[in-house]
Structure 1
Amino acid sequence: MTGVALPTITAIRVDTNETIEVFQTENGRWQTFGDVLIVGDLIPGDPPIFVPDTISPVPTPSPDPVPTPEPTPTPTPTDPNVPTPTPTPIGDNLAPIAVDDQVTAVAGQTVIFNVLENDIDPDNNSGEGTTTQTLSISQFGSAVNGNLEVNRDSGVFVYQANLDFSGLEVIPYTASDGQTTSNLANVFITVLPSNVITVEGAGFGTDGDDSILGSQTTADSINGLGGSDTIFGQGGADILSGNEGDDLLFGNQDNDTLAGNQGNDCLYGGQNADLILGQEGNDQAYGNKGEDTLFGSEGQDCLYGGQGSDCLRGGIDSDRLFGDKDSDVLLGDAGNDSVYGGEGEDFIFGNEGSDSLLGDAGADTIYGGTGSDSLLGGDDVDQLSGEVGDDFIFGGLGADTLTGGSGSDTFVVAEGTGGPSIEDADIVVDFEVGSDRIGLADGLSFDDLGISQSSENAGDTIIRVGTDGEFLAVLLGIDSNSLTESNFVGVNVPPTPTPTPDPTPTPTPDPTPTPTPDP
C-alpha cells in the first residue's frame, strides 16, 4: 500500500492539486521513500486510513497590514438551498412565494438591497415569462432600530441602522403579483457595530474586541489579534484566525480555513468544504454544508460535521464528535470521547481512553482502540471491534459482526434485535469462555434463551429466544456445552452519546449563520 505526503503541509484537502512525493508501507509500518517521512496513526480498516499526528496551525497574515478600505457592506446572498414553499392556487392564479433574505449592515451606514430578487411567481409572470407583469411589495413592517425606505414597485429596501445599535433587525413583508398576495417572509439584517473593521484582501483586528467583515468577492486573510473577536468571511476562500480571546468565526461561502487559536472559540464553516481548527481551549466547531475537516486539537471540544461527508478529529482531552448527515470519518484521539456517527456509513475510531461510540443509522465500522470502550452499532449491518481493553459491544439492529479483541469483553444481545433466520443474528468472532460474557439487555434472562448447535453450524453456538424464537447471536468456534449461566450477565445499555453543546449554537436563522455581536 502506498500513500502520499506533502513535505510542508500536514493536512491535505481532497480534490486539490498539490506537488507530492511518494512513500510506502512495508509490513504494516509507514516507511520513507526518498527523503519523505510521515508520522501518525494507521487506523485499521479496508483500506486503512492514515492520520498525521498533528495538523499545523494556520499561518497568520503578515504583520504588514493592508490599508483598510472604506466600509461598503453588501447584502448577503440568499441561500439557494432554502426550501421552496408549495404555491397555493387562488382561482386561475397561483400566489407568489416570498423567500427570506439575509443582509449584513454596519451601524450608521446605508445598505441597499432588493428583496424581490429571490422571490418566485409560479405563473411565470414576474417578467421572466411571456408577460410583463412583475412582483411588487404588498405590505412590509417598520424598522425598530433604524430608518427604512421601501420602493413597493421595485422591491428595493434602503436601510440605515441607528449609530448606537448592533444586533439583529427583522423586517417582515409580503409580495404581490397584482392579483394575489404571497406568504409572509422576513428580512434578517445583521447590524455590526459602527466601529466594524472592513477587509478586502488581508487585514487585522486590534488588541481589543473587534468586529471584522471580509469582502463579498475576494479571498480574505484576517487575523483578529487580541480580544474576543467576531470575524465574518463572507465570499471567497477565506483564511480566518481568531488568535487570542474567545472568538466567533464565520467562513460563509467557498472553501474557508478557520483557526480559533487561543481561547474558547466558536467556528462556523458555512457552505462548501472547509478546514476548521479549534487549537487551544474548549472550542465548538460546525462544518455545516460541504465535505469539511474539523480538528479540535487541545481542550474539550465539540465538533459537528453537518451535511456532507466530513472528517472529524478530537485531539487531546475528552471531546464530543457528531457526524450528522452522510458518511463521515470520526476519530476521538486521546481522552474519554463521545462519538456519534449519525446518518450514513460512518467510520469511527475511539483511539486512546474509555470512549463511548455510536454508529446510529447506516452500516458503520467502529473501532474502540485502547481503553474500556462502549460500542453501539445502532441500525443496519455494522462492524464493531473493541480492540484493547474491557469493552461493552452491542450491535443493535441488523446482523452485525462483533469482535472483542484483547481484554474481558461483554457482547450484548436483546430481544427484538435479531430475526427469524440465522442470517439475522449477530456474529461474535472471538468469544472466550471464562474471560468474555454475553450481556442480556432489556429484561432478557438466561432462562429465556435457547442455546444450541446444529449440523449446519457445527462448532458454533447459536443463541436465540427460546427454542424457536428469533435468532440473536452466533458464537464462532464455541461448544455450546461449555456455556453455563455464569457466562451471562444482565446489563443496561448506556445512554446514546449525543454531544449537544450548551448553549445552543448561534446565530439564527439556519441555514446560513450570520454574526450577531453584542451591543
Structure 2
Amino acid sequence: MGAQSDPNKEVLYYGDTGELIGTESFSLDPFAGGSYLGKPIADLEFVTENLVRSGSNWLNGANYGVLDDGVLNFGFWNNIQELQNSYYVNDDGSIRFSEANPATFSAFSTAQRAVARTTIALWDDLIDISFRETRSGVADITYGNTAAGANVQAYAYLPFGDVYDDYYAQFGWETAQIGRLGGDVWIGGNVGSNFTPLQNSYYSVITQIHETGHALGLSHPGDYNASDDNDGIPGPDPITYTNDAYFAQDSLQYSVMSYFDAYETGAQHIDWTLTNFAYAATPLVHDVAAIQALYGVDTTTRTGDTVYGFNSTANRTAYDFTSNTRPIVTIWDAGGIDTIDFSGWNTPSVIDLNEGAFSSGGGTEQFLTLAQVNANRAALGFAPRSQATFNFYEGLKAQLGLTNGLFKDNVSIAYGATIENATGGGGNDRLIANNVANVLTGNGGVDFASYEAATAGVTVNLATGGTAGYAAGDSYVGIEGVIGSDFNDVLDGSAGDDLFAVSGGADAINGGAGSDTLTFQFAEAGVNVSLTGTGLGGHTLTSIENLTGSAFNDTLGGDSAANVINGGAGIDTLFYAGATSGVTVNLATGGTRGLAAGDTYVSIENITATNFADNLTGDAGVNVIQGGLGADTLTGGAGDVLSYADSAAAITINLGNNYAAGGTAARDVISGFDNVTASAFNDNITGDNDANTLTGGDGNDTLIGAAGADQLFGGIGNDSIRAGNDNDYIEAGNGNDTVLGDAQNDTLFGGAGDDNLNGGGNDDYLNGGTGTNTLTGGTGLDIFDFDTASFTDTITDFRTGLDKIDVSDIAGFTFIGGAAFSGANQLRFYTDGANRALAGDIDGDGVADLVIHLTGAVSVVAGDLILV
C-alpha cells in the first residue's frame, strides 16, 4: 500500500455560523465544487472515474474472467512447484518473475486465507458478479507471499488488458501471457504488519482489501504508487497528501485505495488506548461507488432486516462491533428495514442515516498515560510503546487539536443504500434522520433526534412521533431532544423534560409539560438570545423554561419563568432584555427578584442587568458586572470587572472608597471590585490598594493607580494616566496622552498620537509608539525603546552609562560613533545644535531614516545601545 503520510497537517472544518456540521460528523462530498486545504472537492462522478481510470477490468466479453465462464475465480499459490509450472517461469525453466523464486515464496497461512476469503466476500457483496474459490492455475485472482523486496508491503497486478501490453512487449511476451499475470496479489513476506495481528481494523486486513481492489481494477485515487512519486517535483520526495492528492477526499476516510491517513480530511481513526491507527475492515464509501460503477450493483445483498454494529445480523465480522471493536466500515445493504446499532458504547456517538454520510462512534473520551497504554497493549500481547513513539502520538494529538480520543467519521453508508433505524448507546448521542420512516432509539444519556440533513421542514412530536414533512413516519424511543431543519418546523415536546435545538427557518416550538430547554450546544459560533425572543429570528417559543448556550462566548437571557441559564463553554454573559423592573442576581446562588426570580445559573461568567435598580453579585470566578441605568448595588470579588461600557455619559469611579457617580454609575453602590471598564466619554477612574486593571475606553480619561501592580489602558482620546505605588503597566492608546510613572519599576507605552511619558523613580521602560513623543525616564536605570522609525521623538534626560536606548526592533543596526553613514543599518551619534541626536540609515542611501533627539549635552557610546 505504501508509506503513511506526514502528520504535520492542520485539520480544518467547514460550516457557516450556526450550521450543525463541523467537528462531530462530517463529509466533504456534499461540498463538491468547493475546496479544502487548497484542493478541489471532487464530485462523486469524478471520484468514481478516477478510481477506475486504468480501464483494466474483468469485463472481457459476454462473460468474464480467464475461463470466460461468468464467474470470477480466486485461489492461492500453494507451493513453489505451482509457480514454476506457471507464467512466472520462462519456457526454458528460468524464473521470469521473482515471485517464483523458492527462496522468497511462501504460501498463505490458514489465517491469511481466512482473511482473503472474507475480503473476496466483502467485494462480492457489492457487485453483480459471483466469485468462486478454485485452484491456482485457473484462478483469476491468486494470492501468495513474497519476500523478494525487503520493505515491500504488498502489490497486485491489475486485471489483464492493454495496461500491460506496452511494458511487457519488450520482453517478447504475448498478450495471452500478460493476461494470466493480471489479478495476482502478493503480500510482502518481510513486513510484520502483514501478519500480526490478522484482525479487523489492523493494517494486515486493509492491505488485502486494498490489493484485491487493484486485482478487480481499481487504481489509487492519485497518480502515486509505492515509491513511484509522480507529483512533478524534481527528485525523490515522500508521497504526501499535500504533494500528491489530486482532490480533497483522497484519504483513508473515503477509500481503502488511498495512501493518506484519515486525519488529512478531518476524520479521527487513531486508537488512543493503544496509540496506533485503526484501518478499514471493508471497502469504503468511494470504493463502493467505483466498483459498482464498474461491475454493476449487487441487489441481493442483505435484503432482509439487518442490524449493523452491536447485536449484528449482517453475517460479516466487520459489521459486528463486539468483535470489530475499532470499526472503520462502509455499509452496503440492498433492502429490508435495517438498523445501525451503537448500543454497546457509553461514549457520545453520532449516527447519520443518510447515504454517503459518516457516523462517529467508539474510542475513548480520556487520553491515557504511557503506562496505561502499555497495560492495554500487554493485555493484547502487543509490544510496549517506547517513550519516543508515545511522544510522536502526543505531538500528533496536539497537531490535530484533539481534546478527546473518540473516533470520528468511522462508519459510513454507501451511496444508494438505505438504512432506516438508528440505536444509540449510553452516551449523549445525536441520531440524524433520513427521508424514510426512521425509528430513532436513544438509550442512555441525553439523546437528540436530528433533522439537520432534512431537505424540507418537519413536524415533530417527541411523544407521538414525526407526523409531517421530512419527519413523516418517524418514531422516537428514549429521545430527549430534537434538532430542527433549516426550514420552517413545528417541534412539540413530550410530558417530560425536552431539549430543542434550532437552525434556519422560522420554527414553532412548544415544550409542553416538564422543564424544557432551548439549546445552542451544536452551534458553530456564539449566540445572543433570550427566552423573551431576542435573537430568535422567526422562531416562536411556548413553554420553554431553560436556555443553554454554545461552546463559544454567548449572551443569554431568560424570561419571567424560573429559568436555568447554562452558558456552556466560553465566556458567557447573562442579560435581562425586556425587564420592566430591577432584578436581584447572585451568580452563585441564583436570582430572587424581578425577571430573575427563581433563576439558576450554570457556567455564567458575566452579568448585564436592567435599566432599573438591580442588585448584582458575582461568584467565585472572574466576572464582568454591568448594572446599566438605575441605582444598582453591585458586589464583586477578586478579579471582577465593574463595567460602565454602555454609559451614555462620563463616570467617576474610585475603588479606594467605593465611590460611583455620573452616567449609569450615578447612585450605584459598589464594592469588592478589582477592575473597571469605563465609558466612551471623559471618565475619571481611580484604583485601590489591590492590583487593578483600569480601562478608559474612548474619551479623554483620567486614570490613577494606587498601591498594587496595576494595569492602566487609556484607549482612544487624550488621556491623563498616573501610575500608583507599585510596578505598573500602562498603555496610553490612541490620542495625545500624558503618562506619569511612580517610584517603582513601570512599563509605559504611548501608542498612536503625541505622547508625554515620564517614568518617575526607579527603573522604567518607555516606548512612545508613533507620533511626536517626549520621553523622560526619571531617576533609575531606564530603557527607551523604539520599534518604529521616527524623526520626532525626544529623550529629555538620557544618562550615558545608566540608561539604555533599544532600537533592535527597527533593524539590526551597527553603531559607527560619530562617523558619516557608509552603508545600510548604521546608527551614528551627532551634535544637533545645543542638543544631541542618534540617527539611523536603514536602506544605505546615506540619509537618516530615524532620528532620536537627546536634550542637553549628553553623549552616547556603544554600551548605551541595545542593537539586537
TM-score band w.r.t. shorter chain: 0.3 to 0.5
Which structure would you say has the larger RCO, counting Cα contacts within 8 Å and 6 or more residues apart?
Answer: 1
Kindly name which structure, 1 or 2, has the bigger radius of gyration based on alpha carbons: 2
TM-score with structure 1 setting the length: 0.47
Query: Higher strand fraction: Structure 1 or Structure 2?
Result: 1
TM-score with structure 2 setting the length: 0.30
Query: Higher helix fraction: Structure 1 or Structure 2?
Result: 2
